[in-house]
Structure 1
Amino acid sequence: MMIKRLFDFVSAFLGIIILFPLFLIVSFLIKTTSKGPIFYTQKRAGRHAKLFTIIKFRSMVANHGDSNTVTVKGDVRITKFGAFIRKYKIDELPALWNVLIGEMSLVGPRPDLPDYLLLLQGEDKKILNLRPGITGPASLKYANEEQILMHQDDPETYHYEVIFKDKVKINLDYYYNRNLLVDLKLIFATIFRASFSSDDLLRIRLAAPDISVQELEVIKKGFSIDWV
C-alpha cells in the first residue's frame, strides 16, 4: 500500500521534528536518573519475518541480567522514570525512526521477539505480510498488559496461552479489515488513551462486544473506532 507507506514516512518525519524537544528532555532525564544508555535496542521480527533492530527509550536498569521477556507492573527492573514513560508509551517514540526507514509502520501488529515466530501457524502467518506497528488494535486492547500480568500466578504462561493467542486473532482481523481510515482511527484512539492513566481508562477495545459502556460513551464524544 503506497498510500500507507507515504503516510507513515511523512508522519514519522514530522513526528521526529515536532517531538525532538521532548526527545531531548526524556534523554536528559534518563541519563540523570539511572546509569546506562539512553536508548534500548533489541532484535524483533518484522515484515516477512525479517529481523530488524527496534529502538526505544531505556526504561529498565541497564545490564539487569534477567532474561525474562515478560514484564509485569511493578517489575523491579523498571526504573522510576522508566515506569512513567512506559505508562504513557513515551518509551515507544524513538521507533518513529524505524517507521521512517521502512522497518515499521505507525499502525500494525506489535513486533515480537524472533522466538514467537515459531508459534504462528497456518493462516496466522499472514500477519507477517504486514509491517509491525508502533500501535495497533491488539496494543490498544492490552494497553494495560503489565497490570493484567501482575495478577497472574504464572505471568509467562498466561501471556502465551491467553494474551498472545488473543493478539494473534486481533491482528489477523486487522489484516483483513485494514485501510487508511481504520489506521487513522487507531492512531487517534492511541493518542486518546495515552492522555489518561490506566486507572481512568483501562482499555480501549475495537470490537463492539468487547468494549465497556463507560469506555464507549467516552470515545463517542471524540470519534468512532468501529471497524469500517
Structure 2
Amino acid sequence: MDVTYPYERRHSRWYEAFFLGLPFQLIIGVSLVVGLPSVERWGWEFWQYLPAVRSNTIVACGFAFVFVLLTLRRLNRFPGAQVSAYIVPAVSVAYLIVVAILFFTREDYTRQVFFGSYLMSLAWFYMAFFLGRRYRKMKLAVVPVGRIDNLMSDGGIDLRFLEQPDLAGVRYDGVVADLRSDDLSPEWEKFLARCTLNHIPVYHVRQIQESISGRVEVEHLTENEYGSLLPSFFYQGLKRCVDLVAALLLLPLLAPVMVAVAVAIRLDSPGPALFIQHRMGFRGVPFRVYKFRSMYIDQKGSGFTEVDDDPRITRVGRFIRKCRLDELPQLFNVIKGEMSFIGPRPESMELSKWYERDVPFFSYRHVVRPGISGWAQVEQGYAAEVDGMTTKLQYDFYYIKHFSLWLDVLIAFKTLKTIVTGDGAR
C-alpha cells in the first residue's frame, strides 16, 4: 500500500518562521545590541530618563544594526556571497556612517555605549551566521526531466534529485523543474501543481542556474525577454549622484597617492605616467579612459594582456596592477560621467569590434555605464578570448538584470578584498 505524505514547505511552522526570520533578528537583536551596552552604562532603568545624548545614541545604534541586518540578508541572496567575510566591513561601515551623521549634525552621543553596541553587533551577526548556517542552506527538490544536466550545487544550495513525483515526506524550500520541457508527464505536472497548492514554490531551472552561477545565459533572444534585462532608470540616476559625490570626496584624499604612483612610473621606465585609450562607453559612445601606465612603451604585443607574466609589464606596473592602483585616474572619468565605480569593464575599440562580430548581444552590455570594477571582474577575473568573453558577457547580463544597490555593495566588498589581498587581481 502506497503511503501518501502531506506536502509541507521547509521552515513553514510558526516557531521556525519566527526564530529564523526577520522579526526575531529585529526584536531580539536590537534589544541585545542596544540594550546591554545601555544597561552597562546607565543602569537597568535608563529608559525612564532619556536626554538627547541617550536618545541619540540609542537611535543611532539601532539604525546601524537594522541597516547591517538588511544589507547582509540581501547580500546573501547573490551567488558567491560569503556573508561571514562581509560582517566586519558591513558593521564597520554602518557605524562609521552613523558617527559621521552625528558629527556633522553636532549631536551628542555616548562613545562607550556606541562602541559596546558595535562589538555586540559583531558578536550577534557572527553567532547568527554560524548557528543558522545549516538551517539557512536552501534545500531544493529537482524534477529529473528536461535540461537539468548542467544544474550543479555550489555548496550554498542542497539539490536533491527526485526519483518519482512525490516528496516522500521530506520538507523542501522549493522544487526545480524545466517548465519548458516537452517531456514533463501528466504525473509530474500534477506533482508540480500539488506543490504550488501547498505553497511550495516551483522554480524554472534557468532561475536556479542563474542564482548558482551568477550568469545570465543568452542563446536566443526570445529565451530571455529582453525587457527583463533593462536596468532601473531611477537607480541609474541615484547611482550617478553617488558616484559624483564619492569621486569628488575621494579625489583630494587620493591625490598624494596618485602623485607618488606617477613619480614611481616615470623613474621606473621611460614614457608618460598616464595611459590614455579610446574605449567603448555608455550607450555605445566612445570615450577616452585614463589609467596609470603599467607597460613599457617600446614593446608590442597582442590586443590584450597575457594573464601569466606578460613581459611588457614594468616592475612598478606589476605592483600597481595587483593593487588596482593603475585604475585611480579613472576617478576623472567618473566625475565626467563617462564611467561609474561599478559596472561592466569598458573594452578597447579594437576588441569591442571583434567581440561584437563574434559574441551575440555583446553591445547590450553598454546599456549601463562602464565601471572601474564589475561583477565579471570579481567573479571571473580577466577574459580575452571569445569563449572567455562569452562567459564574461553572461556575468555582465546578470549584473544588468539584478542592477541594484545591494549588488553594487557586494561587488564593492569583493573588490576591496581583492585590493587588500591581491587575490584574483590581473
CA separation of 1:2 and 1:24: change in aligned 2, threshold 3 A: same
| Comparing 121-130 and 58-67, the one that deviates more | 121-130
Between the aligned partners of 2:303 and 2:405, the Cα distance in structure 1 is: 36
The alignment partner of 2:275 has SS state of strand
1:85-124 to 2 correspondence within 5 Å?
A: 85-118=320-353, 119-120=355-356, 123-124=361-362
1:216 maps to: none
1:131-146 to 2 correspondence within 5 Å?
A: 131-143=369-381, 145=382
Deviations 1:100-136, CA, capped at 9 Å, x for gaps = 1000011100001223444346654331111100001
The alignment partner of 1:43 has SS state of strand
The alignment partner of 2:391 has SS state of helix
2:391 maps to: 166
* 1:159 CA drift (Å): 2.8
* 1:42 CA drift (Å): 0.6
Could you tell me which runs of 5 or more consecutive residues in structure 2 were left unpaired when the two chains were aligned. 1-235
Query: Are the equivalent residues in 2 in contact too, given 1:49–1:117 (CA < 8 A)?
Result: no
Deviations 1:116-165, CA, capped at 9 Å, x for gaps = 4443466543311111000011011233x3xxxxxxxxxxxx83233211
1:11-160 to 2 correspondence within 5 Å?
A: 11-118=246-353, 119-120=355-356, 123-143=361-381, 145=382, 159-160=384-385
The alignment partner of 1:195 has SS state of helix
Deviations 1:83-110, CA, capped at 9 Å, x for gaps = 0001111101111110110000111000
Query: Are the equivalent residues in 2 in contact too, given 1:124–1:172 (CA < 8 A)?
Result: no
Between the aligned partners of 2:319 and 2:347, the Cα distance in structure 1 is: 23
The alignment partner of 2:366 has SS state of helix
The alignment partner of 2:341 has SS state of strand
Which one-letter code corresponds to 1:102 in the other structure?
G
Between the aligned partners of 2:362 and 2:386, the Cα distance in structure 1 is: 15
Query: Are the equivalent residues in 2 in contact too, given 1:5–1:105 (CA < 8 A)?
Result: yes
1:188-207 to 2 correspondence within 5 Å?
A: 188-198=413-423, 202=424
Which structure would you say has the larger Rg?
2
1:185 and 2:410 correspond: yes
Query: Are the equivalent residues in 2 in contact too, given 1:105–1:132 (CA < 8 A)?
Result: yes
| Comparing 133-142 and 110-119, the one that deviates more | 110-119
Which one-letter code corresponds to 2:394 in the other structure?
K
The alignment partner of 1:48 has SS state of helix
The alignment partner of 2:421 has SS state of coil
Between the aligned partners of 1:84 and 1:92, the Cα distance in structure 2 is: 12
Could you tell me which runs of 5 or more consecutive residues in structure 1 were left unpaired when the two chains were aligned. 146-157, 204-228
Which one-letter code corresponds to 1:81 in the other structure?
V
State the TM-score, normalized to the length of structure 2. Answer: 0.42
Q: How many residues align?
A: 187
2:245 maps to: 10
CA separation of 1:14 and 1:165: change in aligned 2, threshold 3 A: same
2:105 maps to: none
Between the aligned partners of 1:195 and 1:93, the Cα distance in structure 2 is: 15
Query: Are the equivalent residues in 1 in contact too, given 2:266–2:273 (CA < 8 A)?
Result: yes
Query: Are the equivalent residues in 2 in contact too, given 1:44–1:111 (CA < 8 A)?
Result: yes
Between the aligned partners of 1:123 and 1:69, the Cα distance in structure 2 is: 21
Which one-letter code corresponds to 1:70 in the other structure?
T
State the TM-score, normalized to the length of structure 1. Answer: 0.76
Between the aligned partners of 2:376 and 2:398, the Cα distance in structure 1 is: 10
* 1:23 CA drift (Å): 0.6
Which one-letter code corresponds to 1:44 in the other structure?
R
| Comparing 65-74 and 97-106, the one that deviates more | 65-74
Between the aligned partners of 2:261 and 2:282, the Cα distance in structure 1 is: 29
After superposition, the CA RMSD in angstroms is 1.8
Query: Are the equivalent residues in 1 in contact too, given 2:303–2:351 (CA < 8 A)?
Result: no
Identity %: 32
